[in-house]
Chains A and B, each alone.
Chain A
Amino acid sequence: MKTLQNNKKYIISLIISIAIALLIGAILMAVSGFSPIEGYGAMIDGAIGSPRLLGNTIEKSMELCLLGLATAIGAKGGLFNVGGEGQLFVGALFSTMIGLWLSDLPTFLVIIIAVIVSIVTGGIYALIPALLKTKLNVDEVITTIMLNTVAIKVCTYFVNGPWNSPLKSISQGTDYIDKSIVFSKIIQGSNLSTSFFIGTVVTVFMWFLMKKTTVGLEINVTGENKRFSFFSGLKANKLMVTSMIISGAICGLVGMMLIYGYQGHMTQSASNEYYFDGMLVAMIMNYNPIGIIIMSFFFGFMATGATMMDMQVGISVQLYDVIFSIIIFLMAAQTGIMVWLENRKTQKKAKQLAEEKAKGLVEETAGKEAE
């Protein structure tokens, strides 16, 4: 009952936060000389205006959802995986190369191997900071951030250096993978491909893992209180490493899905800080899997819409980042803001009460004097 009430409170403050953020977004549009109605109109139109755009929205939502769940599982285990971007790049690079190297094998086999390779490489890249944390107690936030830049720089080197396409028509990046191993499109012309089914399976699996299994509970307990989990006989370090590996594996898989889903070849701009968007979604929803799944659709909608808004009306797409971060600021501080509001209310009430009392006293004494 109490959690239900808490959830209700959370949802109400979420709606208020979104409204405030959209209002600030409208003000920014108006200040920079655009009509907010036109801007938001273009955003809605750009997200669901045509089947192609709707497909893009769904694909983007799936990405955000998976990356958000990746953040969530790490955070539940007590480790902040800020390095998903790097893990995504590593997964994308190696799965692309698998597609290019093994092009003679049957399609089905290539895809399976590519999925496995992306999961393994992403997982290994997440294993490094996880081991550093559990074995040597090195802060994982800094190491994962640094590993991001390292991965992106090294991937850039490979796609523009030794593995660069010899074809003149491709200025940057590797060769395109064979058409037969690219996921077929669910909606023609859009980014939405059959990789959506993989995404759905992973999403359901993650929800199940986090909410319904013992391992999920153990990870949760470890993240919340390492000492408690230690004294309950759980292998805290092992659980932390496991949660981090799962997180990295999902990021690697998303990298593979980006390439095999719609990009076709690996470039240095395979991902444009996608992981950070997913991470922020997870933060807004307090690492709750169901919440992440629902909210990623809202943010996928906004992200795709914002891109189209940029093209159609000329309002910079980055407005989306601004709106997005304002929502998070407000949600992160929601408890604080509520307490502050409540304090003010009680203060006001107390003041009113005191004033009434004082008035009564004054009248009383005045009456006595009159007598």
Chain B
Amino acid sequence: MSWDQIAQIINFTLRNATPVILAALGGLLTEHAGIMNIGMEGMMLSGCFFAVAFSYICASSGAGVIAAILVGIILGLFFALFVVKLKADEFIIGMTLNTFAGGLTAFLLRSVFGKTGSWASTDIIQLPKFDIPLLSSIPYLGKVFENISVFVAVSWILIVIVWIFLYKTPYGFWMRASGEHPEALETAGISPIKMKFIASVACGILCGIAGAHLSLGYVNNFAEGMSASRGFIAFACVVFGMSNPPKVYVAALMFGFLQAISLNLQEYIASDLTAAIPYLVTIIMLIYVTVSAANRKKRREKQSLKEQSGASEAPVSA
């Protein structure tokens, strides 16, 4: 394997991880706010479609991104309205949102643009790409940082921002409290419902951006169901990363890496089988994370039990 190939795999890893981490950042916000958002898949798919549609109509990729963000806001508000305000079952609303998005995008694709299944056109403007200065001039691995789509870099900044927001600002503290102790937050005079709404809308925006990256980042097309379970994988990444942005990014990178090498493995194994690998590994990772978390908890309990018994013994011996 040559340096070029390795650099290319890393490059692919970064680009495949981007939609997942963007959606997962949204997912971890709602997770902290105490909402299980299984509807990210649909939000992402809507982002894909509206980004492509408005990039085509306005002949500008920026307009596409703005449209995707606006749709994300609407869907986020919609989700919060049903789940938080009307107290509907979050699982049902999330799954239905996915069906709704799949139906609506296919319907609009057909009735507005007259296309069935998929749509590619040179009039759909791609997002700009650039080489990262300095890093791209490194020998051997410089290729990694060449031809990077905007949102790959944006996702790195967003990870830091979300982390600072969650752990270093009062708003983040309130958001976490709205999930863990809504009553306490209410007593402190801040509405947990409002925080949940904010989290849901932020999630919608991030999923919209993820969709825009997916359909405009490196390609310029839309296909029915093109999000291909990435919303669910993002949800799994939130679980792996225990809702901590950098850790979640590691999980997303792993997914991106698996996708990148499954592309390279196609020479040896049928592409349908390699395409199943990322999903299979997601399951295995989920098992590992769940089991190790349970073990850690057990160990901690045992230790605290030991400490307690030690403490009660101490006065006797004295």
Contact = CB atoms under 8 A, between A and B. Distances in A.
Nearest to A327: B96
Nearest to B105: A318
Contact of A324 (B99, B270, B273, B290): B99
A154 B279 CA distance: 12
What is the interface of chain B mostly: helix, strand, loop, or mixed?
helix
A332 B239 contact: no
Interface string A295-327: 000000000000000000001101111101110
Contacts of A321: 99-100, 102-104, 106-107
Contacts of B279: 146-147, 149-150, 153
Given A137-B294, A150-B279, A329-B100, A142 B272 contact: no
A66 interface: no
A47 interface: no
For this complex, into which size category does the number of interface residues on chain A fall?
35 or more
Contacts of B228: 149
A326 B100 contact: yes
Given A33-B111, A142-B239, A332 B286 contact: no
Interface in A22-72: 28, 32-33
A283 interface: yes
Instruction: Report which residue of B91, B96, B282 has the largest number of chain A beta carbons within 10 angstroms of its beta carbon.
Output: B96
8 contacts: A136-B291, A149-B229, A276-B95, A315-B111, A320-B103, A321-B100, A325-B99, A328-B92
Interface string A144-169: 01110110011011001100000000
A279 B279 CA distance: 22
Contact of B91 (A141, A147, A149): A141
B86 A319 contact: no
B89 interface: yes
B276 interface: yes
Interface of B: 38, 82, 85-89, 91-93, 95-97, 99-100, 102-104, 106-107, 109-112, 116, 228-229, 232-233, 235-236, 239, 270, 272-273, 275-276, 279-280, 282-283, 286-287, 290-291, 294
Given A138-B286, A153-B275, A337 B99 contact: no
Contacts of B106: 316, 318, 321
Nearest to A25: B107
A279 B87 CA distance: 21
A82 B275 CA distance: 20
Interface of A: 28, 32-33, 80, 82, 132, 136-139, 141-143, 145-147, 149-150, 153-154, 156-157, 160-161, 276, 279-280, 283, 315-316, 318-322, 324-326, 328-329, 332-333, 335-337, 340
Instruction: Report which residue of B100, B109, B283 has the largest number of chain A beta carbons within 10 angstroms of its beta carbon.
Output: B283
Contact of A143 (B85, B95, B286): B286
Nearest to B104: A322
A319 B88 contact: no
B36 to A, nearest CB: 9
B75 to A, nearest CB: 12
Contacts of A161: 270, 272
Contacts of B102: 318, 321
A141 B40 CA distance: 14
A35 to B, nearest CB: 14
Contacts of A145: 229, 232
Contacts of A329: 82, 88, 93, 96, 100
A340 B87 CA distance: 11
Given A157-B270, A336-B87, 11 more contacts: A141-B91, A142-B286, A143-B286, A146-B283, A147-B283, A149-B276, A153-B276, A321-B100, A324-B99, A329-B82, A333-B88
Contact of B273 (A33, A141, A154, A276): A154
